[in-house]
Amino acid sequence: MTPLDPLPGPPPKPQDTPRRRDFGHLGTPPEGDFRFVALDVETACGDAGSICQIGLACVLPDNGIRTFSMLVNPGTRFDPFNIRLHGIGPGHVADAPGFPQALALLLPLLRAHPLIQHSNFDRLAIQAACRAHGIEPPALRWSDSVAIARRAWPELKGNGGHGLANLKRILRLQFHHHDAGEDARAAALVVLHAETRLALPFEQLTAARPASRTRAARPAPLANPEGPLAGAVVVFTGTLGLPRDRAAEMAARAGMEVAQGVTERTTHLVVGPDPATALQSTKLRKAEQLRAAGYPIRIIDESVFRALVDPRPE
């Protein structure tokens, strides 16, 4: 068995097969007593509240999965970047219900079950959409399948990461990425595989773990005021080929200030290669919002960053 073998024991019960990509429908959400429900959303633009599709994957006691997805009219613009990712545009949602109607339809199911999201973005998107429509965000029981995956496969840190794209390869999952129903089903499968990998039930995987004593975060290196990029402010997101500390040192040597979050001062955002990370990154979404508002933020990949801070030919 290799260190990355995800299945040390028998795999979870066979699941439903990926459905045809029709972006969902307005029907009746699944009914029943489920172990947990995975939720995923797609958005129309850089605004986290611009939900245009909601997908659910409801896990039965025997680990079978019932999937459901529906289109939502976000009542706002669609950015070309988002349309390229999920294929949903204004014409698809013209007759779809708005977010308040969609939430009212789904809320009884969501309140009755623990919820899984792959990263924290889906919870933030639901809350943002609620605020945009003057709705009090509902109290729901959220857990993160990224945190569960990190616990089950710690060896993936720095080796592709724990985004859905890399987990799809490692766990041999079959799903249509960037479709809310399919991504929800993938998140549910990640949890089921983690249960098998760790021989722990869902309740223990999602229970709060005692805080461990860790070393204080290493402070960002000071920018070289004489560097060719002095005055620039860079932020990193996603898993890079370089260790993050090394990337920060290279940036600082070139004169760039290294920051943790995207703000109006940010001049460069370096995005890791994982497309799932790109989709789910709140830093990327914030950068796109600021760019749309006229701030000159460059969004670049690692190869462009390396050439920028060290332009010498190899």
SS3 category, 22: coil
Per-residue pLDDT at 11 exceeds 80 = no
> Is 50 exceeded by the pLDDT of residue 251?
yes
Confidence (pTM)? 0.65
Q: Do domains 36-205 and 233-309 have the same CATH topology?
A: no
Residues 55-75 have pLDDT tens digits of: 999 999 999 999 999 999 999
Selected from 3.30.420.10, 3.40.1440.60, 2.40.50.140, 2.40.128.20, the CATH number assigned to the domain covering 36-205 reads 3.30.420.10
- pLDDT tens for each residue of 183-237: 999 999 999 999 999 999 999 999 876 655 544 556 778 888 888 998 999 999 8
Q: How far apart are CA 101 and CA 133, in angstroms?
A: 11
Please say whether the beta carbons of 6 and 170 come within 8 A. Answer: yes
- What kind of architecture, by CATH, is found in domain 233-309? 3-Layer(aba) Sandwich (3.40)
State the amino acid at position 215 in one-letter form.
Answer: R
Domain extents in the chain: 36-205, 233-309
- Grade residue 280 by pLDDT with cuts at 50, 70 and 90: low
Among the listed residues 202, 199, 276, the one whose alpha carbon sits nearest the alpha carbon of residue 38: 202
pLDDT of residue 2: 38
Residue 260 burial by Cβ neighbours in a 10 Å radius (0-12, 13-18, 19+)? exposed
**314 pLDDT above the threshold of 50:** no
Q: Report how far residue 224's alpha carbon sits from residue 230's, in angstroms, rounded to the nearest whole number.
A: 7
The SS3 of residue 258 is strand
> What residue spans of the chain are helical by DSSP H?
80-86, 90-93, 99-112, 121-132, 145-152, 164-171, 180-198, 202-205, 244-253, 275-280, 282-292, 302-309
User: What does the pLDDT look like over 12-58, one tens digit per residue?
Assistant: 544 443 333 455 555 688 999 999 999 999 999 988 899 999 999 99
pLDDT score at 1: 34
Contact between 17 and 88 (Cβ < 8 Å) = no
CA 48 remoteness from chain centre: 12
